[in-house]
């Protein structure tokens, strides 16, 4: 019998209890993994808005609850364009419209036709809208597929009738699932004349992007810049809140999981007092006894982690179907998510097992053996 065999044997000897502890850990892990998947998915899709286009970085108004509430005026755009490092700065107005129940979050991007190529838009079919038109739009190819629209089709967006004049691609999933309008018309119909949501900046080659971003932010304290997906929280408070809730849930479920594991291991400690005393009496070191107890907890918890990941898969699938989240949630199971589950389970096992294992290790063998 190997040490590992003994660990599994001991877990199997208290099958029901081990199983229910596994289930408890699994639920904790499932909640945390699901929230993690949702948060990172929301971050991905929201941040993709910022990365639509082939910019080096994106500029937004600082301190917005939702990035799409950001507003920048013509003066600010001109200021950004004034920097010698800037090769191009494209201002885009981005709004979200409810098309129908199936498409609660239809993204509209307002952009002058002259800026389309700088923005990284390739027209695949048809042609671009004209700058002054009020009834032309282009659809990203994913949106066109999803809405079953082709060039020449008509559609209503926000009470106004439009004709689909072109199908485009940006090479970015969110951009390709969105729609584009002449900037002037979108500004007018949103009553936001002269305003844009985000500015997409491309720098001249040879510019130190990070240094330039920092300078731009210090010289324009009302603005903030975003270069990487992970920085998205800088402009979007909602996402900051979700991330905080996510961390909070992880912490709470870690505590609860640890208590449950501790309860199980303590129960097992009381039942097995004689056993631990005997093991010490036949020459087991304290360390070996501790490793035995902690390993049992670890195996139970890691089993819970894998069960939890499975549960969370069903959880996210369910959330995905919720009308409020439809189209927003693109769950991605990254390796990071699995590590998260594993770390959490490991944390529960260690914190839960450390006290019972110490009690087992520091039993006085003779006293333990006298226990009935």
Partner 1 sequence: MNSEALTPTDYGEPTNVPVIEVRGVSKSFDDGRIVALDDVDFTVYPGELVALAGPSGCGKSTLLHLLAALDSPTSGRVRVLGYDSDHPHDVNGFRRCDIGLVFQLHNLLPHLTAEQNVAIAMFGTDLRVAQRRARARDLLAQVQLQGREGRKPPLLSGGERQRIAIARALANGPRLLLADEPTGSLDTAAVDHTLELFERLRRDKGLTMVMVTHDPRVAARSDRIVSMRDGRVVEA
| Residue 293 interacting with partner 1 (CB under 8 A) | no
Contacts of 4 (CB under 8 A, 6+ apart): none
Of 277 and 347, which has the nearer Cβ to partner 1?
A: 277
Select from 37-45, 186-194, 281-289, 325-333 the region that touches partner 1 (CB under 8 A).
Answer: 281-289
Count residues binding partner 1 (CB under 8 A). 20
169 CB neighbour count, 10 Å cutoff: 15
Of 282 and 335, which has the nearer Cβ to partner 1?
A: 282
- Whole-number Å distance between alpha carbons of 246 and 233: 13
Burial of residue 360 (CB within 10 Å: 0-12, 13-18, 19+) is buried
Of 244 and 281, which has the nearer Cβ to partner 1?
A: 281
Burial 213-226 (b: 16+ CB within 10 A, else e): beebbeebeebbbb
- Whole-number Å distance between alpha carbons of 156 and 163: 9
| Residue 256 interacting with partner 1 (CB under 8 A) | no
Select from 15-23, 214-222, 243-251, 272-280 the region that touches partner 1 (CB under 8 A).
Answer: 272-280
Contact track, partner 1, 8-47, x by CB under 8 A? -x---x----------------------------------
Tokens of 332: 């991605």
| Straight-line distance from the first to the last Cα atom of the chain, in angstroms, rounded to the nearest whole number | 27
Of 131 and 281, which has the nearer Cβ to partner 1?
A: 281
Integer angstrom CA distances of residue 281 from 40, 50, 291, 331, 364: 52, 66, 17, 53, 9
Contact 27, 308 (CB under 8 A): yes
* In the complex, minimum distance from the CB of residue 368 to partner 1, in angstroms, rounded to a whole number: 10
Q: What SS3 class is residue 259?
A: helix
* In the complex, minimum distance from the CB of residue 285 to partner 1, in angstroms, rounded to a whole number: 5
Of 12 and 82, which has the nearer Cβ to partner 1?
A: 12
Contacts of 372 (CB under 8 A, 6+ apart): none
Contacts of 255 (CB under 8 A, 6+ apart): none
Tokens of 44: 């991905």
Contact track, partner 1, 124-143, x by CB under 8 A? --------------------
- Whole-number Å distance between alpha carbons of 209 and 204: 9
- Whole-number Å distance between alpha carbons of 26 and 310: 9
* In the complex, minimum distance from the CB of residue 282 to partner 1, in angstroms, rounded to a whole number: 4
* In the complex, minimum distance from the CB of residue 4 to partner 1, in angstroms, rounded to a whole number: 10
| Residue 1 interacting with partner 1 (CB under 8 A) | yes
| Residue 321 interacting with partner 1 (CB under 8 A) | no
Candidates 288, 321, 332, 334; binder of partner 1 (CB under 8 A) is 288
Candidates 275, 301, 315, 344; binder of partner 1 (CB under 8 A) is 275
Select from 70-78, 159-167, 283-291, 350-358 the region that touches partner 1 (CB under 8 A).
Answer: 283-291
Of 3 and 314, which has the nearer Cβ to partner 1?
A: 3
| Residue 245 interacting with partner 1 (CB under 8 A) | no
13 CB neighbour count, 10 Å cutoff: 12
Give me the residues that bind partner 1 (CB under 8 A), please: 1-3, 6, 9, 13, 274-275, 278-285, 288, 365-366, 369
């Amino acid at each position: 019998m190997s040490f590992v065999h003994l660990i599994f044997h001991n877990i199997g000897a208290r099958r029901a209890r081990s199983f229910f502890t596994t289930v408890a850990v699994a639920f904790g892990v499932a909640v945390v993994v699901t929230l993690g998947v949702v948060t990172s998915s929301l971050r991905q899709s929201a941040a993709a808005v910022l990365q639509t286009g082939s910019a080096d970085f994106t500029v937004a108004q600082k301190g917005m609850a939702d990035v799409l509430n950001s507003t920048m005026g013509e003066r600010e755009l001109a200021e950004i364009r004034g920097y010698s490092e800037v090769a191009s700065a494209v201002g885009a107005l981005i709004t979200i419209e409810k098309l129908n129940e199936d498409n609660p979050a239809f993204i509209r991007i307002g952009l002058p036709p002259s800026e389309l190529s700088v923005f990284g838009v390739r027209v695949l079919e048809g042609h671009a809208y004209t700058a002054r038109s009020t009834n032309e739009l282009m659809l990203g190819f994913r949106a066109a597929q999803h809405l079953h629209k082709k060039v020449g089709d008509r559609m209503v967006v926000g009470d106004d009738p439009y004709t689909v004049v072109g199908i485009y691609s940006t090479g970015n999933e969110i951009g390709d699932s969105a729609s584009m309008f002449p900037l002037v018309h979108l500004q007018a119909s949103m009553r936001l004349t002269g305003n844009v949501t985000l500015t997409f900046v491309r720098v001249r080659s040879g510019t130190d992007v990070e240094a330039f971003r920092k300078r731009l932010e210090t010289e324009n304290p009302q603005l903030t810049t975003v270069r990487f997906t992970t920085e998205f929280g800088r402009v979007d408070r909602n996402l900051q809140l979700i991330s905080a809730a996510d961390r909070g849930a992880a912490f709470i479920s870690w505590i609860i999981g640890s208590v449950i594991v501790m309860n199980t291991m303590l129960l097992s400690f009381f039942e097995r007092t004689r056993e631990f005393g005997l093991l010490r009496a036949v020459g087991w070191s304290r360390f070996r006894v501790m490793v035995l107890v902690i390993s049992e907890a670890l195996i139970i918890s890691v089993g819970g982690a894998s069960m939890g990941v499975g549960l969370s898969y069903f959880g996210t699938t369910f959330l995905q179907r919720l009308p409020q989240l439809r189209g927003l949630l693109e769950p991605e199971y990254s390796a990071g998510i699995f590590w998260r589950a594993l770390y959490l389970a490991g944390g529960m096992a260690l914190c839960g097992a450390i006290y019972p294992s110490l009690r087992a290790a520091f039993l006085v063998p003779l006293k333990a053996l006298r226990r009935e």
